[in-house]
Structure 1
Amino acid sequence: MGANRLPGPQRQVRSEQVIDLGTMCRQRSASVERTGFIQHEVELQRPLIYFFGGAGDGDDSFARFESAYNKIADSLKLPKIYGIQHYRVRDDVFKKYSDASHEKAFFTWDTDRLVVLARIFRSLRFNPLTPICLVGHSYGGDTAMDLAETLAASYGGIEVNLVVTLDPVSSKERITTANIKSLLGDVADYIKSGFDQKELGKFKYNGYSRTKPKNVNLWTNVWAEHNYDPIEPSNMVARLGGPWRAQAAADVDISMPKGVVHFDADEMFKEVQSYVANFPHYWRGKDKRKEQVRQFLDKLKGFRE
C-alpha cells in the first residue's frame, strides 16, 4: 500500500462556489484533457474529511434514551446516568481538527445518506481526484462504513482513501422504547451474576464483524475493551447498541488500554492521527477514479438536457 505523494502545492477551492469546471481548468493550466479535467490534477485538490457522530451527538436522541433508562434503572438496581450526551465527537474531535487544507464537515449518525453522497459527488465534480476520508464514532462508525459500501456500488466503485471507525457500534438493531427494558434486564442479570461471561452472551451483538469494502484503501479500527469497566455508563450504552470491537478485516486494529471508555473518542482519535494526516496520499487507481467521475458527469449532463 504505497503512499504516492502528489507534486506541487495544493490550492483550496471552496466547494460551495458555483464555478464552470471547464473555464476553471483553462484558467489554471494550458493543458486541458478532452474530459475537462486538468492533467495537473493536484491544483484543484482539496481533500474531504467527514466526521459522523454517535448517539450522543444527536440533538435529543440520547436525552430521550437517558430519560427512559433512568426510569427503569431504579427497579433493576442499576446505576443511573446523567449528562453523558455531553461527550461528543463533534466537540472533542471535529471542532479540534485543524488541518485547514482539508474540507471538513460533521454529520450525525442518522443523517440522510443521500445528503452526504450529494456533497461528495459535488466535490468530485470539481476534481475527480478529491481524496476522501470518513471518520465515525459509535453509531457513526456504522454510518461511515455504510457510506463507503454505497460508494463501492457507485460507478464501478468510487475509491475511498481512508475509513476510521472509533469504537463502532452496529445500528442494525437500534435501542428503542420497545426493547430497552429487555436489554437493560440483560444488563442487570449480567451485573448481578458478578459479570459472568455466560450472562454476557445474552447481548445480541457481541463482536459484530464487518467486511472491508473493496473500494476502501485503508481501514483503521480503534476500540475500547468494555469489560474493563462494564457498568461505566458509556460502555453499557455501547454494549446495548452492539459493539464491533476487534475487526479482523481492518488494516489497522487498535485496542485501547484500560481506563479508556466508549465515549473517549478524542483519545481514540489520537491513535490514528498519523493515518488521517496522510490520507490524501493513499491511492490505488487514479485513472479509474477519473473515468468514474467522467461517467458521472456524462449522466448528469444527459439528465439536465
Structure 2
Amino acid sequence: MIPKSGVALGAFPKVEFFIGGGGDKGDWITNVTRATGIMGDVRDYREGSSSGITCYYYGHEDQDLVLSMIKGNWRSGAFKSIRLTGHSWGGQVVMDLTQDLFHASIPVDELITLDPVSMFPFSKVIAGKWVNVYCKQSIMDNTIGAVPVIGNAVSALTSWVGQAGEDTNSSDYIANVGGQLGSENGAHNIEMNVTHADAMHMYKKARAEMTNAPLNPKAIGIR
C-alpha cells in the first residue's frame, strides 16, 4: 500500500512529489475558499497509471517539510530516485527544491513544472531532465506582463477584461496576478492552449514528452 500521509514507510526507491499551487491543499487561501485538490488528482492519476513508484502530495506551503523529508530519506537510503512535479506556485517551489537538493548533492532525476507562477524571475535549475509545460500567453503577458509586480497586475487586468472566450477562466486571471513564468531557460518547454487550472492535461503532456527532454550532465554528475 502506498503511503499518503507524507511519512516514508520502509524503502520506496523511486518517488515523485506533487506540489500544489495557491488554494490547492492547505494554504491561507483555503481558509476562505474550498481547497481545489488539483495536484491531488494528478497524484492519483500517476498512482493509478504507473507501477514501481511512490507518490506524495503536498501544497506549496509545505516546501520546508518536503525538503527535510527528502534529505532524511536520501541519507537513510529509502529514496534512490527523486521526481518533483509542481503546478502554479508549486512550480516555483519544485524549482527551489531542485536547487536546494542540488547544493546538497541530491540529484532530482525528473522535474516537471506545470504553468509555474512566481512574482519574480527565477535563476537556473539543474535537474536530470526538466519538462516545463506552460499555458499559451498573450502579447501582453510576454511584454508588460514580464515586468515583476506591476506588469503582473496590468496583464491580469487585461486577462480579466478579455475572459469572454471559452478557453479562459478565473484561474488564468489568478495566474497572471501571480506572474506566469512561461518558457524557461534550460527546460524542455511545451506550450499548450489550456487553462491554468488544467494541470491534468499538462501533466499527461509532460510525461509523454519526458523521453524527448535532454539530460543535464551536471545533475547526473552529482551522483
TM-score normalized by the length of structure 1: 0.53
Q: Which moved more, 1:235-244 or 1:120-129?
A: 120-129
Cα distance, 1:126–1:287 mapped onto 2, change above 3 Å: farther
Q: Secondary structure at the match of 1:165?
A: strand
TM-fit CA distance, 1:221:
0.5
Is this contact kept in 1: 2:18–2:85, CA < 8 A? yes
Give the equivalent residue in structure 2 for 1:161: 109
Compared CA separation, residues 116 and 59, structure 1 to 2 (3 A): closer
Match of 1:212 among 124, 127, 138: 124
1:140-289 aligned within 5 A = 140-154=90-104, 157-170=105-118, 208=121, 210-214=122-126, 216-227=127-138, 230=159, 231=163, 232-250=169-187, 252-257=188-193, 260-274=194-208, 288-289=222-223
After superposition, what is the alpha-carbon deviation per residue over 1:35-72, rounded to whole angstroms, capped at 9, x for unaligned? xxxxxxxxx77211101001131336335576xxxxxx
Q: 1:52·1:107 contact (CA, 8 Å) conserved in 2?
A: yes
Q: Sort the Cα spacing of 1:277 and 1:120 in 2 relative to 1 into closer, same or farther, 3 A.
A: farther
Q: Distance in 2 between matches of 1:268 and 1:153?
A: 29
Distance across 2 between alignment mates of 1:266 and 1:255: 14
Deviations 1:246-275 (A, max 9, x none): 11321x100002xx1100000101111135
Counterpart in the other structure of 1:103:
54
Unaligned runs of 5+ in 2: 140-157, 164-168
User: How big is each residue's C-alpha offset from its partner over 1:212-257, in whole Å with a ceiling of 9 and x where there is no partner?
Assistant: 333x11111100125499232110000001110111321x100002
Tell me how many residue pairs correspond in the alignment: 189
Using the alignment, how far apart are the partners of 1:243 and 1:64 within structure 2?
24
Unaligned runs of 5+ in 1: 1-11, 18-43, 67-82, 173-207, 290-305
Q: Which has the larger radius of gyration?
A: 1
SS in 1 for 2:80: coil
Please report how far the alpha carbon of residue 285 of structure 1 lies from its aligned counterpart in structure 2 after TM superposition.
7.3
1:128-161 C-alpha deviation (Å, 9 max, x unpaired): 871111000000000001111111221xx32211
Secondary structure of the residue that 1:245 maps to in structure 2? coil
Return the match for 1:116 from 57, 60, 66: 66
DSSP 3-state at the match of 1:136: strand
Q: TM-score, normalised by structure 2?
A: 0.71
Note if contact 2:15-2:53 (Cα within 8 Å) is conserved in structure 1: yes
One-letter code of the match for 1:268?
Answer: M
Q: Could you tell me how far 1:276 is from its partner in structure 2?
A: 5.8
Q: Secondary structure at the match of 1:52?
A: strand
